[in-house]
Amino acid sequence: MNTVALAKKVQAELEELVNTKLTTDKARAIVDTIFNTIGDTIATNEKVSITRFGDFAKSERVARKGCNPQTGEEMMIPAFYVAKFKAAKALKEKIK
């Protein structure tokens, strides 16, 4: 499911829940705002926990030795940050 499909699903769910019309553009803005907020929050080293869904956090990958696959030359891969997600128990159970 891509962002547009997710926005349409959110639009349909919110229209039913709130009993009001919602445009696809507004639903897309809601989806974008949620994910931008999560990204901005974890970028500042804060964890985002969504009950019954999971936790988003920033994690550091340590520097390590690597190999250039084209030349076989050893090189150092510098440390960098990644976004991590840990699914909540409720989400894991739903997927089973």
Q: How many CA atoms lie within 13 A of 12 on its CB side?
A: 5
96 and 54 within one domain = yes
23 and 60 within one domain = no
Has residue 11 got a pLDDT over 90? yes
Share of the chain above pLDDT 90, in %: 85
| Distance from the Cα of residue 29 to its chain's centroid | 16
Q: Is the pTM of this model over 0.75?
A: yes
52 and 41 within one domain = no
Give pLDDT tens digits for 22-68: 899 999 999 999 999 999 999 999 999 999 999 999 999 999 999 99
Q: Containing domain of residue 21, as a range?
A: 1-46
Share of the chain above pLDDT 70, in %: 100
Residues 6+ apart with CB under 8 A from 52: 88, 90, 91
92 and 64 within one domain = yes
Domain tally for the chain? Answer: 2
Residues 6+ apart with CB under 8 A from 56: 38, 41, 42, 47, 48, 50, 83, 84, 85
Backbone angles phi, psi at 58, to 5 degrees: -90, 135
Give dist(CA 67, CA 75) in Å, integer: 6
Has residue 20 got a pLDDT over 90? no
Q: How confident is the model at residue 18 (pLDDT cuts 50, 70, 90)?
A: confident
79 and 38 within one domain = no
Amino acid letter, residue 13 = E
